[in-house]
Structure 1
Amino acid sequence: MTVIVLAVLAVVLPLALWGRVRGPLLIRGLARLAMVGFAQVTAVLVVFVAVNNTNGLFSDWDDLLGGGDHVAAAPDLGRDGLGGRRIADLPKTAQTFRPAAVPDGRVRTTLLRGQVSGVTAEVYVWLPPQYDDPAYRNVRFPVVELFSGYPGTPASWFAGLRVTERLEPLMRNGTVAPFILVAPRTKLLGDADAGCANVPGVVNAESWVSVDVRKMVTDHFRAVPTADGWAVAGFSAGGHCAAKIALAHPDRYRYAVTMSGYNDPAAEPDSITAKDPALRHANNPLTLLREAPAPPRLSLLVTGDGDDGYRQGLDLRAAAEPPTRIEVRRVTGGHRTSTWADQVPSVFTWLTGRLEGAGATASSLRR
């Protein structure tokens, strides 16, 4: 609304005041120059807001200016990210949902206070068309957690990639399984990229997405609770997150998709894990795969071109041993939203084809 008012003023003020400016020539010139400058700055601002609204890069001005810190506490939670607690022992989350500011009016959002991670941030949820169908009232649905790039917000998948617009017809005709789509905020530290990592004293982003968000979904929706009904998917920095989270927690996720992602955290200069050699090594998906106690039971799809994800996928595939399965696809088009948006149908078709989705439940979803 503020930008609209400014845009109107940028047009109206010169029309109303251009010929009415009084005073010496210098004063009149400066006043008219100020009006022209105001109009030009407003025009740039209007374009920026339009691009931001289309791609979901920042949620508000505070987010843009690096003031959006969503971390209340960051205790050391250990290797499993639970801090000695069991997920089953945590109290049920109490959430309220409202419509999200994205083109699809069925997307809902909630502010989640993470019981384990110490993160408080928004989470977007979209339920497939079959969810409220009486024929599916006893069915638990598979879930895909969606991670945005950096910078980015949960709206990126819904406003930029228009994931629901592309998938809903495919879910209705049975080409794609009716997944619950969940997009948590991953930009948690203002002007730094959390990298979906747990860093004691800084942020527990890994526990946020893999424990707190996951529990909220199973608490409030008919979601498959086991790993064979859960996947993660992301683009750019979100692709890095997807691979890292799935490889770190194959007990929580059975599938992952990374589009134009990377292995080395240093590929994102603002990543907090890129600045420390130990963190950089520990949060590299290739490290997680090579140093796993046993090859994880995981299916991973990697797409990209050249050094924009493809080579990194080949490195992961070369390091994989059964039952880890890694498929690498070369996709041209560049590091841009349109390239990832075009992949949405094929990516979710791939997920559907591998969905174990808790056995009989998966078969019923693909009827």
Structure 2
Amino acid sequence: MGLTSETTVYVMAAVAAVCVALLVWLWPRLARHGLWQVLGRLAAVGVTQVTIVAAFACWLNSSYQFFGSWSELFGNVDTAPVGVSQADAREGTGTVTGVSVKGALIQPAGDEQLRRVSGLPTGPAAVNGRVESVKVVGRRTGVVDPAFVYLPPQYFQKAYHRQRFPVIVALSGYPGSIFNLAQYLRVSQTAGELQKSGQMQPTIMVMIRPTIAPPRDTECVDVPGGPQTETFLAKDLPEALKSAYRVGHDASAWGVMGYSSGGSCALQLTMRNPHVYTTAGALSPDYEVKDDPTTGNLFGSGLDRVNRRNGHDLMWRLKHLPAPQVSVLVADSKHGERGYPQTLAFIKAVKAPMRVASILPDHGSHNFPTWVREMPATLKWMNQQLTFPQDVVPRHHKKPAHATVRASGPEPTETAATHR
């Protein structure tokens, strides 16, 4: 039984129920006076509590994917091979599932989580597209991270067999999981519907978690002497995807989005690495990275600590550093979310050549129903910033420095605002 499987959850729940029943049945016998009876009561209560907590923990882990396997739970994490896989002449075929190549940077993974996701494409891939379950191997960082990759129908069609596709990387919040992205945020399902209706150009969606050293929250930071999350997402991940799939080779074809801390990470990656990602979509993000009990010390010590912290403070960057030539979208609710004032301050601080758009609904919460509502407008806006086909259609048009995407209803619309 896998750690995240429903069978494990049901078995642990059954064990907990049996322990409760035994406790009730044995309690009259254990109620007598004497040392052994006292020890028996303590043992019975202790075992019952442990099984209840274990059952709850299994359910919580199955839902949020703190740990993906038993070996990961006990600290046995995969290490990356040192070999580098090169793309063949076709620049990736999309046939990752069922193929295991030693040293490859994208490797097939089990589909246990994928089978639990509803609404995924079925039937011929050239008609409905396909979602693959893979492992991304970080050549520089040694990280092995699970991912889901949605490939649009055009990827498998003969008319597009020489085309490279734009990519949007979707990041979960903390602790988060790729299952949350697929099942609750419905990344691939929403993208597929928008592409099928012609509201979005064919785009590859990559769902991945930024929590590369669970249970620690690294906030997409290269921790001195610790996990190198930024390097993994800004260097290892694009390199791995380019080695296995027909994805754009220029930054103009790459975007990154996320919710909560994943949205913060999307902004960080784009503003700090504009040569890798030129477009970001951030749903309910923060704009500054701080140490807390889940992160530990992210910035080390010594003279460089302040510089490292400032480098991940987006408001500080906008004030003291040249604005990067990127486009970002930020979403926050006026009522129901705490970050609305900070989002307004961020929008106001953005200056050319950087561009910003926003989704600012009147009401919402820091939860999936709000983010699902914001997803279609976010994906459509991001997709408009990305080039496809990359090698055929360059981008020469200019966009206004500030735009607002209003999300007052199920189908938000985008309107242009005047320059500051």
TM range (shorter): 0.7 to 0.9
TM-score by length of 1: 0.79
Q: Provide the alpha-carbon RMSD of the alignment.
A: 3.5
- CA change 1:190–1:347 in 2 (3 A) is same
Secondary structure of 2:140's match? coil
Residue 81 of structure 1: aligned partner: none
Name the aligned partner's letter for residue 153 of structure 2: P
Supply the distance in 1 between the matched residues of 2:315 and 2:387 (Cα, whole angstroms): 25
Compute the displacement of 1:215 (Å).
Answer: 0.8
Confirm or deny: 8 A CA contact 1:22 1:28 kept in the other structure. Answer: no
Distance change in 2, residues 1:6/1:31 (3 Å)? farther
Question: How has the CA–CA distance of structure 1 residues 62 and 304 changed in structure 2, closer, same or farther, with 3 Å as cutoff?
Answer: farther
Residue 39 of structure 1: CA displacement? 6.9
The Cα shift of 1:45 comes to 5.3
* Structure 1: gaps (5+ residues): 73-89
Larger mean CA deviation between 235-244 and 280-289 belongs to 280-289
- CA distances 1:90-128 after superposition (whole Å, capped 9, x unpaired): 763613213541314853333333222343333332212
Paired residue for 2:149? 125
1:194·1:203 contact (CA, 8 Å) conserved in 2?
yes
User: Does the CA-based 8 Å contact 1:146-1:157 persist in structure 2?
Assistant: yes
Give the counterpart letter for 2:310 in structure 1.
H
TM-score, normalised on structure 2? 0.70
Who is 1:155 aligned against? 179
| Residue of structure 2 equivalent to 1:165 | 189
**Residue 247, structure 1, aligned to residue 271, structure 2:** yes
2:107 to 96, 101, 120: 96
* Partner SS, residue 233 of structure 1: strand
Larger RCO (alpha carbons 8 Å, 6+ apart)? 1
Partner of 1:139: 163
Tell me how far apart the structure 2 counterparts of residues 303 and 194 of structure 1 sit (CA, whole Å): 22
Go from structure 1 to structure 2 and tell me whether the alpha carbon gap of 1:23 and 1:70 turns closer, same or farther (over 3 Å shift).
same
What SS is found at the alignment partner of 1:130?
helix
Q: CA deviation at 1:224?
A: 0.9
Taking structure 1 as reference, are residues 124 and 32 closer, same or farther at Cα in structure 2, changes over 3 Å only? same
CA contact (8 A) 1:55 1:159 kept: no
1:317 aligns with 2:347: yes
Report the CA distance shift for 1:136/1:9 in structure 2 as closer, same or farther (over 3 A). Answer: same
TM alignment of 1:187-206, pairs within 5 A: 187-206=211-230
Using the alignment, how far apart are the partners of 1:316 and 1:123 within structure 2? 31
Q: Is the 8 A contact 2:30 2:41 kept in 1?
A: no
8 Å Cα contact 1:302/1:310 also seen in 2: no
Name the residue aligned to 1:302. 330
Equivalent residue in structure 1 for 2:314, among 269, 277, 285? 285
Is the 1:297–1:324 Cα contact (8 Å) retained in structure 2? Answer: yes
CA distance in 1, matches of 2:276, 2:71: 33
What displacement does 1:181 show?
Answer: 1.4
Identify the residue that residue 273 of structure 1 maps to in structure 2.
298
**SS of the residue 1:107 aligns to:** strand
- Percentage identity across aligned positions? 28
Do 1:147 and 1:238's aligned partners in 2 also have CA atoms closer than 8 Å? yes
Q: Which has more helix, going by share of residues?
A: 1
1:203–1:37 distance in 2 versus 1, CA, 3 Å: closer
In the superposition, relative to structure 1, how do residues 36 and 341 fare at CA in structure 2: closer, same or farther (>3 Å)? Answer: farther
